[in-house]
Structure 1
Amino acid sequence: EHFFSIFLEKNIHFVALYPFRPDFYKKMGFGYGPKIYQYLVEPLSFPKGPTKKHLKYLTIEDQQQLIDCYNRVAAKKHGMFLKTTSEVSFIFKNIENYVIAMEQQGTVQGYIVFSFKKQSDDNFMLNNLVIKEFIYETPQALLELSTFLNSQADQVNRIEWNTQEENVHFFLGDVRNGTNQLIPSVYHASAMSGVGLMYRIINVKGFFDELKTRNFNGVTLTLKLIVMDSLLVENSQQLIIEAVNGTINILESGSYDVEVSIDVAELSSLIMGVVTVQELFMLSQITVSDEHYLQVLQHFFFVIEKPTCLSAF
């Protein structure tokens, strides 16, 4: 409650946290963010490109280049926080970290922060490479950095990559994790997944007022949104949202086409694009007064890109 009051006083309507227990914070009105996928693949699973001539190791003197690259990616990618100087300094101050970058025409276009993890106390040559941060602006930067990882085949056993990108298995070669486990009927064990970052709207009306500059996919619709919030009682709100060609306005009263009832946790995940109206409806997490409007609501709330967050806080 203190956390909420701090940000409500600052006129901030949307917050995020990492949960010590997801189910606990779910009951507190926080909605799930994107899953993370932990791949454990052989180095040769990373594609080998035609060159790695633009690669170089970065030092703390190059930290501004790293910040600029990261922040350019963050500005274009839904859900990411901008990186601070102190965050970058921590990367370079950790003596276990290595930073390799793809630089072209004096600009860093991608980089990997990585370290090594011992796999045996008896054999110092058995190590895994652990990717701590993998940022790339262009396909060329990704492929050149991938070429570096591919070249580690004689140095490391496997590469651990934690990513929120759902479809990197299209990029990698052999995505199996080495367990040889089969999931019925014939699905090969690859990435382990986990839930973490959670989102919460703490002022529903204030949040939708901020979204008046966003286009809701060109949809024309008037809906009554009933939001339940068991913790922040003042946030249990009913809004009539009028959308004309995707531009919304909040009405004090009037008629509407459809009524939607939803808990603030699911609304927070929905509005961020983590889950869709159709999925929530099938899972009994949303109530719609007229099911004929499901497709329109699906289109209204649809977010092209799921959120990504690489920041630790």
Structure 2
Amino acid sequence: MGNVRLLEDQDFKDYARLSLEAYPAMYPKMSEEQIDGWIKRMQAQQAEKSDIQYYGYFDGDKLLGAMRTHTFTMNVHGVDMLAGGVGNVCVDLTHKKEHIAKEMMQHFHGLYMDMGASMVLLWPFRSDFYMKMGYGYSPKYNKYMYKPSDLPRGSKEGVAFMTEYDVDDLLECFNRYAAATHGMIYKKRRFFERFLQRYKVVGYRNGDRIEGFMGFNFKKLLPDHPLLQNIEIEYMIYENPTALSRLLAFLQTQLDQVDRLEFLTLDDDLHYVSSDPRNGEPHIFFINQESNVQGIGLMYRVLNKRLFFEKLAPHDFNGVSLRVKFNIRD
């Protein structure tokens, strides 16, 4: 059995190598300069003892596996709970099937149990692997693909591109939405600093408050066709119907240079915003035409069962009170 511990500065070069080998399709070809910058950012996070930390599985001095942990605050039925997340779980390709990932996950669970977290969560590479560890599925993620011309026309008043000067207002908007929405995880300021680097960000401002925003990128459809593209919207947050209508009006006006708008969202009812809810694919089953596709995303595990229900004591389960017995096998 190896040893799981926090990575030290000299370990991050091997961590980067393991990550690139374990997820070659997720990490595009990176230059040495890009890898060096990535390593320095991780070392800085580790030194700051931030809510993102890096652990490794060692056999002696050799790094054979690694993972990244996240510490969150999560809204569970209106109750803010401490939660842990794990990502980038990777194992040396020459040491797979040696229970290294299992031992790292057990360390992760113990770490957050000691911290007093009620829940842990992750994006699975293999959902069946994590089901065996007691994780369950989240609601399905949706992908809708609508033509801009099928969205409602309307006013774009208050809509503008966001800049680094809007980071604090974006953070406040998101966290107000998170505080009102079951299952949401509160963000930190640095998330939006990176968010503005990764996406084109358009927001709706009402007076001195941002009340809705979206993060999107243009997606080229054919390598040899410079004029055929979609807009892929990975984030869309809105606090009220006006914010939604202003953001949709902005998207509707992109019809001259965009084929379809790809919405990635947990919203099961987004098809109501389009005059034609079909997603452009000729798929039909029992006279039902495809409006969206779905996928399994996040998985959750209730880590500390007693603490979880103690934290939920203020929640009203629709006026129902009953006694439940759980038979737990872990």
TM-score, scaled to structure 2: 0.66
Q: Does 1:193 align with 2:298?
A: no
Instruction: Supply the AA of the counterpart residue of 1:168.
Output: L
Q: Does 1:30 align with 2:132?
A: no
Q: Does 1:53 align with 2:157?
A: yes
Q: Does 1:132 align with 2:237?
A: no
* Cα distance, 1:122 vs structure 2: 2.1
Which residue of structure 2 aligns with residue 66 of structure 1?
Answer: 170
* Cα distance, 1:20 vs structure 2: 1.0
Provide Cα deviations, 1:74-124, integer angstroms capped at 9, x if missing partner: 110011111111111111223xx2111111112111111111011122221
SS in 2 for 1:153: coil
Tell me how far apart the structure 1 counterparts of residues 113 and 300 of structure 2 sit (CA, whole Å). Answer: 15
Which residue of structure 2 aligns with residue 202 of structure 1?
Answer: 303
User: 1 or 2 for the larger relative contact order (CA 8 Å, sep ≥6)?
Assistant: 1
Tell me how far apart the structure 2 counterparts of residues 78 and 220 of structure 1 sit (CA, whole Å). Answer: 21
Structure 2 unmatched ranges of 5 or more = 1-105
Which residue of structure 1 aligns with residue 31 of structure 2?
Answer: none
Which residue of structure 2 aligns with residue 78 of structure 1?
Answer: 182
Instruction: Supply the AA of the counterpart residue of 1:188.
Output: Q
Structure 2 CA distance for partners of 1:220 and 1:177, relative to 1, 3 Å: closer
Structure 1 unmatched ranges of 5 or more = 232-313
Provide Cα deviations, 1:193-244, integer angstroms capped at 9, x if missing partner: 00011111122222212222222222233x2412222x3xxxxxxxxxxxxx
* Cα distance, 1:169 vs structure 2: 1.2
Provide Cα deviations, 1:55-80, integer angstroms capped at 9, x if missing partner: 11111111111111111111100111
Which residue of structure 1 aligns with residue 328 of structure 2?
Answer: 228
Tell me how far apart the structure 2 counterparts of residues 224 and 33 of structure 1 sit (CA, whole Å). Answer: 22
RMSD, aligned α-carbons: 1.3
TM-score, scaled to structure 1: 0.69
Which residue of structure 1 aligns with residue 270 of structure 2?
Answer: 168
Tell me how far apart the structure 2 counterparts of residues 65 and 220 of structure 1 sit (CA, whole Å). Answer: 40
Instruction: Supply the AA of the counterpart residue of 1:57.
Output: F
Residues 228, 258 of structure 2: 8 Å contact kept: yes
Which residue of structure 2 aligns with residue 112 of structure 1?
Answer: 214
Instruction: Supply the AA of the counterpart residue of 2:235.
Output: E
Q: How does 1:1-313 map to 2 (within 5 A)?
A: 1-49=106-154, 51-94=155-198, 97-183=199-285, 185-221=286-322, 223-229=323-329, 231=330
Residues 118, 127 of structure 1: 8 Å contact kept: yes
Tell me how far apart the structure 1 counterparts of residues 147 and 277 of structure 2 sit (CA, whole Å). Answer: 8
* Cα distance, 1:128 vs structure 2: 0.5
Tell me how far apart the structure 1 counterparts of residues 127 and 292 of structure 2 sit (CA, whole Å). Answer: 20
SS in 2 for 1:175: coil
Provide Cα deviations, 1:24-46, integer angstroms capped at 9, x if missing partner: 11121111111100111111222
Question: How many pairs were matched up?
Answer: 225
Tell me how far apart the structure 1 counterparts of residues 276 and 128 of structure 2 sit (CA, whole Å). Answer: 34
SS in 1 for 2:112: helix
SS in 2 for 1:109: strand
Tell me how far apart the structure 1 counterparts of residues 211 and 312 of structure 2 sit (CA, whole Å). Answer: 31
Residues 43, 151 of structure 1: 8 Å contact kept: yes
SS in 2 for 1:88: helix
Residues 22, 196 of structure 1: 8 Å contact kept: no
* Cα distance, 1:133 vs structure 2: 0.9
* Cα distance, 1:11 vs structure 2: 1.6
Residues 234, 265 of structure 2: 8 Å contact kept: no
Instruction: Supply the AA of the counterpart residue of 2:170.
Output: L
Instruction: Supply the AA of the counterpart residue of 2:270.
Output: V
Residues 46, 150 of structure 1: 8 Å contact kept: yes
Residues 57, 99 of structure 1: 8 Å contact kept: yes
Instruction: Supply the AA of the counterpart residue of 1:79.
Output: G
Tell me how far apart the structure 2 counterparts of residues 227 and 168 of structure 1 sit (CA, whole Å). Answer: 38
